[in-house]
Amino acid sequence: MGLFDEIEPTYDALQAIKKLPPDDPIIVLSMIRFRHDLADGRSDAAWREYQDGIGPVLEEYGVKPITQGVVALDLVGPKGQWDVVGAYRYPNPKVLWRFLSDERVLDLIKLRRKAVDDVTMMILTDQRNARGGN
């Protein structure tokens, strides 16, 4: 496929999005480790540019940030694995598919690669309504 590598979704992962319940909201959990080898600040600048660009696109697609934060303490698991964690609520998998197919997002992913050493992204189903919560 070319664009996606080990820090981006594989073709099979992208195809699996189409198999999720099409109208149910989903949460995308994103865990990122920055490239700490770029001491000259290029990683920080690329991340800031990525953040500035991706925010308006997320908003345009109706994606709601649940939380985003810098990891303050590794309580369980490998130390120093992740620098930033974010969770975002997408209206449904179809929106995520369109978002990931948007040329602006693909361009921003290329920019993000300059800042990021590792990424883990997971899709969660929103179980709050299933158990009577909000």
Q: Per-residue pLDDT for the chain (134 aa), expressed as one digit of tens each?
A: 333 445 567 788 888 998 999 999 999 999 998 887 665 556 678 888 999 999 999 999 999 999 999 999 999 988 888 999 999 999 999 999 999 999 999 999 988 888 888 888 999 987 776 555 55
pLDDT of 13 reads 84
Does residue 50 contact residue 106 with C-beta atoms inside 8 Å?
Answer: no
Q: What span, in angstroms and rounded, lies between the C-alpha atoms of 51 and 48?
A: 5
Backbone angles phi, psi at 20, to 5 degrees: -75, 155
pLDDT of 71 reads 92
Residue 120 CA neighbour count, 13 Å, CB half: 8
Backbone angles phi, psi at 131, to 5 degrees: -110, 15
pLDDT of 126 reads 72
